A = this chain, B = another copy of it.
């Protein structure tokens, strides 16, 4: 089926928007018609590239009648206010992960979308990556038997990328849980059916200069009996991308000669200088987004099922069966993050929700908080706001 392009507004023209540019520039199912952002420089760049309207406030964007849906790419802690304003204006919403920082905000967002009768999709997130979706399809087919155990880990330089000060304060959504852990949780929940029962975790905040969580390890278990081990370190030492064909998170090629680059770039910067450095990576500041050569990924993931293990890679899924192994390709689309746009178009044009709804995003956020709580209390935490997978998988 072909439809008229979805008329999309954008709220926030920072780093997250930058990373969506290759998609927006190459997928003609969406047309960027308006933006709202506080910086005149980025608004001007938007109008110069896409035409359309550029506003200084979310209220103006919400009142624009020529918009079907809005992509919210503002800092996490602002998501709830922005969703309420835009849902009240009748816009469908694509909100960048994590849904919010607090579960109270997440509840507000679920309620706002319900009350307005609009779709709220949490994305992009790596749970939309084509190899993850392919693995989910393979699981749903039943060919491999039940999912029994998932192992996911990722070693990155996250903690030493340029940050605004609040991104190093846990209570404001800083640290690896809300920005990074939520990806891993989203993926693992998708692979295991979504309904996590409990979590047990340890967290580490090992650098006094950046005193938020930079690492964690967690065990989740799920309705149906599957369990998962999740581990993350953002301390910029070992880099697990060597086990992902040297493909970086965003699909670019890693250059081993750049070892230590993240720490070097921050050396001798005070917090203001660091925030300014981050600013140079936003839209309208002259930089261009990375051009992916392979699918995005979130580190090595092994899925153990009754009759096969599945290993995710940037190119697809390697299947290790009882007798043979094989590789099933997940091609890179010229418009990367195509599955996110698939979800948006289906929501707007067919009134069909993806798995990654507001309730789904709240459930992943609940796990982030449960990891922090479990580590603080040194005991397992029972989960209460989980959300399963309700899709058209039977049609696959």
Contact = CB atoms under 8 A, between A and B. Distances in A.
Interface of A: 148-149, 151, 153, 155, 198, 200-202, 204, 206, 215, 217-219, 221, 227-229, 231, 233, 235-239, 243, 259-260, 263-264, 302, 304, 306, 308-309, 311, 320-325, 378-380
A215 B206 CA distance: 31
Contacts of A263: 322-323
Interface-centre pick from A155, A235, A380 (highest chain B CB count, 10 A): A235
Among A238, A260, A309, A325, which residue has the most Cβ atoms of chain B within 10 A? A238
B148 A204 contact: yes
The 7 closest A-B pairs by CB, nearest first: A237-B309, A238-B309, A202-B227, A237-B320, A217-B229, A200-B200, A260-B323
A205 to B, nearest CB: 10
A151 B302 CA distance: 15
A378 to B, nearest CB: 7
Contacts of A228: 217
B221 A202 contact: yes
A366 B336 CA distance: 50
A258 to B, nearest CB: 12
Contacts of A218: 219
Q: Which of A198, A302, A324 has the most CB of B within 10 A?
A: A302
Contact of A233 (B201, B202, B304): B304
Contacts of A379: 379-380
A236 B264 CA distance: 43
A320 B200 CA distance: 28
A219 B203 CA distance: 11
Contact of A201 (B219, B235, B323, B324): B219
B215 A322 contact: no
Contact of A153 (B151, B259, B260, B380): B151
A236 to B, nearest CB: 8
A185 to B, nearest CB: 15
Contacts of A229: 153, 217, 229, 231
A325 B148 contact: no
Contact of A380 (B155, B227, B321, B380): B380
A151 B206 contact: no
Nearest to A321: B237
30 contacts: A148-B204, A148-B206, A148-B215, A149-B204, A149-B233, A151-B153, A153-B229, A155-B309, A200-B200, A200-B380, A202-B221, A204-B227, A206-B306, A229-B229, A233-B304, A233-B309, A235-B304, A237-B309, A237-B321, A238-B304, A238-B309, A238-B320, A259-B320, A259-B324, A260-B321, A260-B322, A260-B323, A378-B380, A379-B380, A380-B380
A212 to B, nearest CB: 15
Contacts of A235: 304, 309
A320 B217 CA distance: 20
A264 B378 CA distance: 44
Contacts of A236: 322
Contacts of A200: 200, 219, 380
A221 B201 CA distance: 10
A302 B155 contact: yes
B206 A217 contact: no
A191 to B, nearest CB: 15
